Structure 1
């Protein structure tokens, strides 16, 4: 937003940057501060932050004949005032008493428009009515001052706006001045991490750095270490924090009664925000006869500036403060609570809270079948409906408690309609949170059906409300517990800045296109899973998985056609793969839920919502989703505390039957643990042991085991994962004969080294790295064990042959190398040429002598590329009749060439002619 207002009619004059125009008092290079028009005074708000101070200096460069008056600048002995006092030589600094009685014709306000925050300068404005110029990045403030010149834009810092003017006018800045102005930008943007940061902030800082701004000074003043008193205060803030759900938004409140003034309270508030990953934080601190309020928000639903303006304070939507005199702390807390209730925008409606699709039952369904539905979907109530051609008639609902009691009386054959609750209130998807509470709690309903277009779109349950009302960050997972509750209110935050930082422009544009197309088709759309996880971990991952709330295949076909791409579809699972002309792929899936008919069986799949789609996944770190629709693009959605587990470096399952239903998740847990340097959580480890004890792997298909094990062996360094598999006793799943023998670790380390050597020497030669590690594990095993392993893992013929045949050819070559070195080049070539590269590297890994490794290296780097220039037709020209003799002659000729006896084609022909 660019704001320009002209409350005084006059010549608009020329245009200034940023879509504002020159009126009266455009900055000019004045030289006489006491001209006939009177003084030009520059000021900012009380208790100025670094942005205010930096903006004063920048404005002083634009109004060089001006004087600077900082309200209350000398009252507190804190870092900022020490900083000001050390830089007085840069300002034409005056106290308010110095200009008392003098005519002031112009007041330049920076970083504020609030008359109540101007200290002594407010009296000058009221008494003398000077012309006012305003430079500010706080937009849409109520009861704000108006100015003859206003430059108001929603940048991260006011200093950014003034830097643009200085740069346009070609005004010179010293290194010291550039450093000070840069300091304000860094502070008010949180070193470019706050959601309010704009591209203009980056550009301004970059220009200042090019002028010599000292970032060491900036960082030392902004990122200073906490002293013991501040650490103790943060601990007190954590202990006194209270989380409230206000209109569906989680707001953290801290109330403190302090004996003395604490400087830099805002810094401590910001640190607490980061430490606890809070969305909204209000801190009320009683200090003497004042109550200081500091607010921070990462959510657009909570405008800190607007809320605190009603308490006489101000700021912008993401950060604000207020200072209140002569009012008890309890009264301020009460007023703030009322303001939050009135000002926080509701973000939760039934559409956000409901579980969809609703699991329904026909009225004549037997209670025994209804009980199985509840177990299958892990729910506690069923909606009872009937269908006709155009609508769905809601008849009522039935709970697990009612069904279980009926079953205890041997009434399993009775239909659900005989025992359902038939009087049921409903709501629409747009019903607000408070109304939902009234209908569920007031009407004492177990669940509330959400109706849309004469159909049940979903349900909001009593548990949904409890999760939203009660479960704060501490309660979302009880102490000592790891397993997530079923889907509930998600934590959301914008990550657009991170996406811009980490993703290429091509990927970012692609995601935006996907969002637009899905929106136009009426579908919800998310990028999910490993892509989001690795984005937060700042790891490269271009494997894009898209989930569509709607028809994923229909979306994929439309998007592929628009992009000129191919598509492969899998109707059974509702999935598609879009293949672009350059080979890049995007996986698209319909949001779905799964249930497992028996342990280790493949899941049955049904269409679902994004919440239930994420709930079917393996670990919390893989349950994160980012919205791609234009209205919510870049919003991270976290139902299961995946962000916390990433921060705490923990692998955690979503429910206790996770490994029973899909034992392959055990291998994935190990893979992620080692890849990211995480730790498998205590409860998750117990569930792994329980799955092994129950022998759920017995029914697991060999191909599924092979795929998971192969992925582990394809990791950059699979050795820690292999050893973890041995520690957990999982290698027996493949075969008990694969043991952790004394030489195994050394051989695996050698395998890693030879692969690194191969990557360095033969970067263009593709190999299947996992084979080398797998063969190393099988090294002590005989042919019979190899056959059993191949059958157990259901290996494709190519890999079966490597394990059961070619591996033993390689062992023969190893035996020959052990006893046959040194050897002629021709003999070395004869022994090693039948072996594929993976087998050669395997032999290098298991060999103990350097001579063997050097011989194989010599073959791979020198000998295997040597070929003959002559062919069979050359032998025919020499007069030799075609036949088996051709092969013998060519082989002997090649051997001679390998041994250095032949140099060129003529030598080869002469050698072959000798056979005639």
Structure 2
């Protein structure tokens, strides 16, 4: 039995854990789980820099609502704030001494089919740890009254932690939940880990066999959550919170991008595309989906935000217009006014033109100039000035403003 002192948990207020233990009073086990345990062990036993803990995940072998409500009643509203109870899920959230605590009842999971949401049942701490993604995330610190927590490590997590490897808990981990592949890339990029050989083999073999009932090209309304919305959630975390270029590079090096789309595996400009999108202020998720073989299908499957879906729909139209109507013509001789008129006649949103710039088409430079400068050019005379010159409000004024703007555009090279 390994005991870990409270000093191994940097950044946690000193009274927080004793207050939790006092509330439990030995009725059931309460354990710290997940990334906080992993990072604490990295810091305490392997001299890794301490990680900032935005929140703490705890598992309780009892009613989380009763525990959370009891904490607020005992400690008061000054120490316990933002209490939220979710009885239907067996969870609760609260802020204790300024630290966000996520409480979850110990549970076990059964996957009715690969990639589907699991069926959840209340259980014990050991079963709860067995349902997790990697061995280094399947360790728990059982909170004790003496301040020395008991480390529960059932799957050799400490060994893999020392080797800085990610190992799955069982042979069907990826089949059950393919989002674990993206999670592996997130952790490897952030922590400097690598997949254990068995984990890499499982990723390759599972995606190669494709054990899920839904396949690429099937109707998106039948896609299992782990290949749809849950995959998008992991992708958003990867792109928003992690060293995304390194994480995407890892996914490509593991040859697992076909989980999203085969073109994302073979596109040599993928990382550069996202860097360019970032410089243009575009959402990374939209830029990534735009590189897919069928952006519309992938956007619908992942259920990305509606506005981004509309941008991608318009991007497909803009691409067709460029290929069919622009590139066959002597577009290189078009001036600022000609390009502006052609781009604005169909009212392409600026974000759509920016996505086309990222496509690196032959005519990307005038597209970029329109996006960055030409679209902002206004008439040289204001409506008030034109009215003062005798122009009547209405269509006549609109035409005068357009001609004035055209003159301004003709002066730009």
TM-score normalised by length of structure 2:
0.71
Which residue number in structure 2 is paired with residue 658 of structure 1? 173
Which residue number in structure 2 is paired with residue 800 of structure 1? 309
- Pick from 346, 350, 359 the counterpart of residue 846 of structure 1: 359
Structure 2 regions of 5+ residues with no counterpart? 43-47, 215-223
- Pick from 259, 267, 270 the counterpart of residue 748 of structure 1: 270
Q: Please tell me whether residue 520 in structure 1 is matched to residue 26 in structure 2.
A: no
CA contact (8 A) 1:748 1:845 kept: no
Q: CA–CA distance in 1 between the matches of 2:370 and 2:145? A: 59
Which residue number in structure 1 is paired with residue 217 of structure 2? none
Which residue number in structure 2 is paired with residue 789 of structure 1? 298
SS at 2:109 equivalent: strand
Shift in alpha-carbon separation, 1:542–1:853, aligned structure 2, 3 A: farther
Which residue number in structure 1 is paired with residue 368 of structure 2? 856
SS at 1:697 equivalent: coil
Higher Rg = 1
Which residue number in structure 2 is paired with residue 704 of structure 1? 230
Shift in alpha-carbon separation, 1:869–1:605, aligned structure 2, 3 A: farther
Which residue number in structure 1 is paired with residue 138 of structure 2? 623
Q: CA–CA distance in 2 between the matches of 1:512 and 1:871? A: 66
User: What do residues 176-203 of structure 1 show as CA deviations (whole Å, max 9, x unaligned)?
Assistant: xxxxxxxxxxxxxxxxxxxxxxxxxxxx
SS at 2:132 equivalent: coil
Q: CA–CA distance in 2 between the matches of 1:555 and 1:878? A: 76
Displacement, 1:678?
A: 2.5
- Pick from 575, 583, 591 the counterpart of residue 91 of structure 2: 575
Displacement, 1:534?
A: 3.9
Q: Please tell me whether residue 647 in structure 1 is matched to residue 162 in structure 2.
A: yes
* Superposed counterparts of 1:734-773, under 5 Å: 734-735=260-261, 738=263, 740-741=265-266, 744-745=267-268, 747-754=269-276, 757=279, 767-773=282-288
Q: Please tell me whether residue 599 in structure 1 is matched to residue 121 in structure 2.
A: no
Q: Please tell me whether residue 835 in structure 1 is matched to residue 349 in structure 2.
A: yes
Displacement, 1:605?
A: 1.6
Which residue number in structure 2 is paired with residue 530 of structure 1? 35
Higher helix share: 2
Shift in alpha-carbon separation, 1:863–1:687, aligned structure 2, 3 A: same
Q: CA–CA distance in 1 between the matches of 2:164 and 2:301? A: 34
Q: CA–CA distance in 1 between the matches of 2:147 and 2:321? A: 63
Which residue number in structure 2 is paired with residue 276 of structure 1? none
Displacement, 1:617?
A: 0.6
Q: CA–CA distance in 1 between the matches of 2:31 and 2:378? A: 55
Shift in alpha-carbon separation, 1:552–1:822, aligned structure 2, 3 A: farther
* Superposed counterparts of 1:195-274, under 5 Å: none
Shift in alpha-carbon separation, 1:646–1:890, aligned structure 2, 3 A: farther
CA contact (8 A) 1:810 1:835 kept: no
SS at 2:170 equivalent: coil
Q: CA–CA distance in 1 between the matches of 2:375 and 2:37? A: 45
Shift in alpha-carbon separation, 1:870–1:589, aligned structure 2, 3 A: farther
Shift in alpha-carbon separation, 1:859–1:791, aligned structure 2, 3 A: closer
Structure 1 regions of 5+ residues with no counterpart? 1-248, 250-490, 759-764, 902-916
* Superposed counterparts of 1:418-817, under 5 Å: 491-494=2-5, 496-500=6-10, 503=11, 508-509=12-13, 512-513=15-16, 515-517=18-20, 519-522=22-25, 524-535=29-40, 536=42, 537-538=48-49, 539-557=51-69, 562=77, 563=79, 565-578=81-94, 586-626=101-141, 631-632=146-147, 637-692=152-207, 694-699=209-214, 700-701=224-225, 702-714=228-240, 716-719=242-245, 721-722=247-248, 725=251, 730-735=256-261, 738=263, 740-741=265-266, 744-745=267-268, 747-754=269-276, 757=279, 767-775=282-290, 777-778=291-292, 781=293, 785-809=294-318, 812=321
SS at 2:212 equivalent: helix
Q: CA–CA distance in 1 between the matches of 2:70 and 2:384? A: 56
Q: CA–CA distance in 2 between the matches of 1:499 and 1:610? A: 20
Of structures 1 and 2, the one scoring higher in RCO (CA 8 A, sep 6+) is 2
User: What do residues 325-350 of structure 1 show as CA deviations (whole Å, max 9, x unaligned)?
Assistant: xxxxxxxxxxxxxxxxxxxxxxxxxx
Displacement, 1:615?
A: 1.9
The alignment yields a C-alpha RMSD, in angstroms, of: 4.5
User: What do residues 60-85 of structure 1 show as CA deviations (whole Å, max 9, x unaligned)?
Assistant: xxxxxxxxxxxxxxxxxxxxxxxxxx
Displacement, 1:673?
A: 3.5
SS at 1:696 equivalent: coil
CA contact (8 A) 2:59 2:104 kept: yes
CA contact (8 A) 2:204 2:255 kept: no
Displacement, 1:587?
A: 3.0
* Superposed counterparts of 1:93-112, under 5 Å: none
Q: How many residues align?
A: 383
